[in-house]
Amino acid sequence: MRFLITAGPTREAIDPVRYISNRSSGRMGYALAGAVRHEGHEALLISGPTSLDVPEGVDFISVTTAQQMYEAVQDMVGGVDVAILCAAVADYRPISYSNQKIKKEVERMTLELERTPDILGSMRRVFGFRGVLVGFAAETQNLLAGARNKLEAKGCDMVVANDVSQPGVGFDASTNEVWLVRKGREEKLERDTKHRIALRIVQETLSLIAG
Ligand code: C5P
């Protein structure tokens, strides 16, 4: 089985030295790629900027922006059986890029932003992906409602839900505590290392295929 995994943040440039991004470390996605290899399957990791080492035996594509991640997924999705989209894609990007570093000349300034492409939302509708699709939902409120909604709206087979308002969970942490949300079945994975959580997610995903 071949898995595609997206990981890490994306960076949306404002000028040559500044960008908009988020606190994603990429650890959950890299752990998922490692877990896929551990279970004896092929993994392609498409990642935004992180400071992590690519797990051994994992194919790797490095991207910076949401648009580049979108295009890499679109190019590669044809050959995969399972896609786990774990990246913390920036939701907005500056509408224009300044070729020169913006000078601090005024007291206030407004940065105009536009939405980035929705990769998860394009998997079924735009890319025609027919394999098993797993999304992530990082929320600070109404965690399960948000995840159930995403399951339906994006055509996912499973959504991994993170309450990122808790310390030690989700963003920029080495541990995680998640809910696995499927149609008619919801299960909590108690707090554990991202490596062990990743293995459970991959095993659950494989059981979706077997079932
Ligand atoms: O809507 P929200 O950002 O909470 O959705 C999170 C899920 O959607 C994650 O699986 C994330 O990787 C994916 N996503 C995406 N493209 C975006 C935004 C989110 O693939 N532009």
76 is a domain residue: yes
Are 42 and 59 contacting, i.e. CB atoms less than 8 angstroms apart? yes
190 is a domain residue: yes
- 203 lies in which domain range? 2-95+110-210
Check which CATH number belongs to the domain holding 203 and give it.
Answer: 3.40.50.10300
Tell me the average pLDDT across 180-200: 95
Atom 1 in ligand 1: which residue has the minimum CA distance?
A: 137
Separation CA 20–CA 140 (nearest Å)? 20
Catalytic annotation on 22? yes
Q: What are phi and psi of 91, to 5 degrees?
A: -80, -25
Atom 2 in ligand 1: which residue has the minimum CA distance?
A: 137
101 is a domain residue: no
Structure tokens at 138: 């990082």
Structure tokens at 211: 């079932």
What rounded mean pLDDT belongs to the chain?
95
- Model pLDDT for residues 114-162, shown as the tens digit of each residue: 999 999 999 999 999 999 999 999 888 899 999 999 999 999 999 999 8
pTM for the model stands at 0.95
104 is a domain residue: no
Separation CA 141–CA 81 (nearest Å)? 32
Instruction: List the strands of the sheet with 175-182, edge to edge.
Output: 59-62, 42-47, 2-7, 82-85, 132-139, 158-163, 175-182, 185-193
111: pLDDT strictly greater than 90: yes
C-alpha dihedral (193, 199, 203, 208), degrees to nearest 10: 70
100 is a domain residue: no
26 is a domain residue: yes
Atom 13 in ligand 1: which residue has the minimum CA distance?
A: 120
Element (H, E) at 42: strand 42-47
Q: How far is the CA of 136 from the centre of ligand 1 (A)?
A: 7
Atom 4 in ligand 1: which residue has the minimum CA distance?
A: 137
* C-beta of 48 in contact with ligand 1 (< 6 A): no
Separation CA 134–CA 55 (nearest Å)? 20
Measured between alpha carbons, how far is residue 28 from residues 33, 131, 146, 153 in Å? 9, 21, 20, 23
* C-beta of 164 in contact with ligand 1 (< 6 A): no
105 is a domain residue: no
pLDDT band for 178, please (50, 70, 90 cuts): very high
pLDDT at residue number 169: 74
Q: Total domain count for the chain?
A: 1
* C-beta of 9 in contact with ligand 1 (< 6 A): no
Q: How far is the CA of 211 from the centre of ligand 1 (A)?
A: 26
Separation CA 9–CA 52 (nearest Å)? 12
Atom number in ligand 1 closest to CA 120: 20
